[in-house]
Every structure is written in C-alpha cells, then in structure tokens.
Chains A and B, each alone.
Chain A
Amino acid sequence: NAGVMQNPRHLVRRRGQEARLRCSPMKGHSHVYWYRQLPEEGLKFMVYLQKENIIDESGMPKERFSAEFPKEGPSILRIQQVVRGDSAAYFCASSPTGTGETVGANVLTFGAGSRLTVL
C-alpha cells in the first residue's frame, strides 16, 4: 500500500514562472491537506480538499495560489508568478475521513514533500 505520493520532490523555478505540485493520497483516503513549511518554522495550513471540493482554503494566499482535487487524478497545488518568498517545502497529507471527532480515526499521513526553490 503506497503512502502519500508527492511530486516533484524538488522543483526550481525562476521568478514569474508557475509551479505545479502534485499529491496522490493514500489508497482509501479521500481527504487531502496541503501545508507549507519555511526553513526552521512550523507547518502552516494552506487548504483542505475532498474530491472535487475545496472544504477550507483559509490558509491560502488570496492571489497566485490555487488548489484542486479532481474526480480523477492527483490533487494539484498551483502557484502562479512565483516569487522568492514562495521558496519552501510543501507537504501534502491525507486522511481517511475529515469530519467529526471519531476516536481512532482522522489520522494524517504525510507525503515526502515538494521542495520549491525560486531563483
């Protein structure tokens, strides 16, 4: 059972280019979370998605950032017109269910991350 798969693992972009990060959740998981981590800092929530729906995007910058989780295929985090401040590790995590407080459920499993460097 493959874990959460993220690609690319490393991505280098020049300022103004677009970055696309992909995430395939664990088998049986239908909830995807994206987090950003700057060097020496904690995980910052960006967006929570289910298939074809954005549930919570309160952590996403209002401009240049978008996310989707189509019916078929991986979740994609898209950053348009990248700037140097976008350089970070972007982690995707999946969960078997995202609602409620059911004891024993709702554990997040992380992918290996995508490290974006903007030159």
Chain B
Amino acid sequence: QKEVEQNSGPLSVPEGAIASLNCTYSDRVSQSFFWYRQYSGKSPELIMSIYSNGDKEDGRFTAQLNKASQYVSLLIRDSQPSDSATYLCAVKGGNQFYFGTGTSLTVIP
C-alpha cells in the first residue's frame, strides 16, 4: 500500500500571499503526480499534473516534483479568497491512484 502524506492544516494565508502545500509519498516507482482542489461539499477537480522532476507552472499555480526526495509541492501565487479549499495530493502507481488526506487552505481577505 502506497502512502501519501500531507499536512492536514489548516493553512491560512493573507490575500495576495504565496500558499505552499506539501506532499510526500512512499513509493519510488510512482511516476505520475497530481494536485486536486476540493471545495466544501463538492467533488475534487484536477488543477495540476506533473510527471518530471522540476517545476511546472500554470497561471498562478506551480507544481514542484523531486523524485529523489519523494516530494511534490504546490505553490499558489497571489492567493485569492476563492482559492480557499482543500487540496489533495494524488500519486499514481500501476493502476491505482493514491490520495493524501488533503490540506485545508484558507485565504484571508
């Protein structure tokens, strides 16, 4: 059983700040990594995928992957109140997707 660990939070940042979300995983074979956002009472939606070491940027979001350290992070620049949600880290190994328990983010106006 692969493990995906996230700080549960809650994480609070002021509007306009950078929010940093972290995730570690236990299986060195994993190749695909994902960040999902889940608003309260809603379903998870994919915001970023990353497959190679390094950074991947998409608008205000940057995913960082370090396979040697088994670490993946998500940076949210210029955080907005609408970014307030739970962020789920997911790792794919074989046929399976393994999810962390999520980090709750609150952006304070």
A residues in contact (CB < 8 Å) with B:
33, 35, 41-43, 45, 48, 55-56, 91, 93, 98-99, 101, 103-104, 106-113
Contact = CB atoms under 8 A, between A and B. Distances in A.
Nearest to B52: A103
B97 A108 contact: yes
A108 B88 CA distance: 13
B98 interface: yes
20 contacts: A42-B88, A43-B44, A43-B99, A45-B98, A48-B95, A56-B95, A91-B43, A99-B94, A101-B30, A101-B31, A101-B93, A103-B32, A106-B92, A107-B34, A107-B49, A108-B97, A110-B36, A110-B43, A111-B43, A113-B42
Interface string B95-107: 1111111100000
A21 to B, nearest CB: 14
A70 to B, nearest CB: 20
B92 A101 contact: yes
A103 B51 contact: yes
Contacts of A56: 95-96
